[in-house]
Structure 1
Amino acid sequence: MSIPVVRRVRAAEWREIRDLRIDAVGDPAASIAFLSTVDQERAHDEAFWRERAAGASLSDEAAQFIADDEGRWVGTVTVLLRAAGTADHLGRPVADARADVVGVYVAPSQRGSGVLGRLVDAAAAWAADRGADQLTLDVHVDNHRAQGAYRKLGFAATGETFTSVIGPEMIMVRAGRVSA
């Protein structure tokens, strides 16, 4: 097994982005982390995926990173910048610039291999270059495997919880060490 290359997606890679997303939401161990289903993702048309790819590859407010193992995508993470003075996805004010990590997925064959850390570090470096002071993420309270993986990467629970369409979630933060 080679070491996957971690990089930002390219606008032309909309098909690969779509296929990896469908794999992620269809993975029984990972589906607890996603707000959509395989059927919902498959229902999106080509224009949707092209727009998503363009934003993830070119935007200064969001970026998607993937782990490419000799042409096979084996992981992904997306990072969204939250500027100070704006509201986050829960409608709460953002005091200091930060980045929210979303859409995290690592293929079963790569779990525990370090791919997740490399993806998060790439997202963190990108966010730090744009002034983010911390990384945050939401994780289902019953997703103990993901919580453990995030703790190994320096994330800690904030004590804040909320309920989303997938159920109760907790907020984790990596402060003081945005980039690796």
Structure 2
Amino acid sequence: MDHLIRAIRADEWAKAREIRLAALRDPVAGIAFLDTYENAVERPDSFWRERTEGAAEGGSGGARQFVAEAPDGSWAGTISVLVERPSDEVRFGEAATVDQTHIVAVYVRPEARGTGLTEELFRAGVEWSWSLPEPLIRRVRLYVHEDNARAAAFYRRFGFVATGERVAVPGSETASELEYELRRPAGV
């Protein structure tokens, strides 16, 4: 597979919507995302436009969404990265104590899994994190549902380490999300 890994553009909201809805229809969506297909499909076009504009190349810098684009223009996968500063309002999990980014919304279509696209998407997100101007990003974090062993194994292979932090899954009385982090390497 020959894919281009790139940041989305502000005018690509319909494609961003389509891949998000595909992700939410995936069999593991219930443990991979804090959203449902039923909720997402009801959101107006204005929601998808704003969401895409905020994560697009040339956007505000508070978020970035990357895609794996096939030669025919279709998207085989996506990853989003949110910037979190200690002064920011907490979106999920513990408040940032250092300048960090937070990887969310990771999805690769079933037919593209095992091809290296997930690694390429993660590489793009992490490299973007390290490239942000002062204050420097000190770590990249993510959360994984405690029952999502496949995703957790990938994160560890990529270099993420469990921090020991656990957060209750919204709407569940027993399930937890586990925090993983990747610390900024010296000299980067």
State the TM-score, normalizing by the size of structure 2. Answer: 0.88
- 1:160–1:96: structure 2 CA closer, same or farther, 3 Å change rule? same
Aligned-pair identity in percent equals 35
Deviation at 1:164, TM superposition (A): 1.7
Q: Deviations over 1:113-155 (max 9, x none)?
A: 1111111111111111112111100000000000011111101
Q: Does 1:75 align with 2:80?
A: no
CA distance in 1, matches of 2:121, 2:37: 23
* SS state at 1:159 partner: strand
Match of 1:126 in 2: 128
Match of 1:101 in 2: 103
8 A contact 2:93–2:167 mirrored in 1: no
CA distance in 2, matches of 1:172, 1:19: 28
Deviation at 1:88, TM superposition (A): 3.4
Superposed counterparts of 1:1-180, under 5 Å? 2-57=1-56, 58-70=59-71, 71-90=73-92, 92-130=94-132, 131-165=136-170, 167-177=175-185
Counterpart code for 2:54: G
- 1:91–1:26: structure 2 CA closer, same or farther, 3 Å change rule? closer
* SS state at 1:145 partner: helix
What is the aligned residue count?
A: 178
* SS state at 2:12 partner: helix
CA distance in 2, matches of 1:66, 1:5: 8
Where in structure 1 are there 5+ consecutive unaligned residues? none
8 A contact 2:162–2:180 mirrored in 1: yes
CA distance in 2, matches of 1:90, 1:149: 21
Counterpart code for 1:138: Y
State the TM-score, normalizing by the size of structure 1. Answer: 0.92
CA distance in 1, matches of 2:44, 2:95: 34
- What RMSD, in angstroms, separates the aligned Cα atoms of the two structures? 1.8
Where in structure 2 are there 5+ consecutive unaligned residues? none
CA distance in 2, matches of 1:74, 1:9: 13
- 1:128–1:24: structure 2 CA closer, same or farther, 3 Å change rule? same
8 A contact 1:78–1:104 mirrored in 2: yes
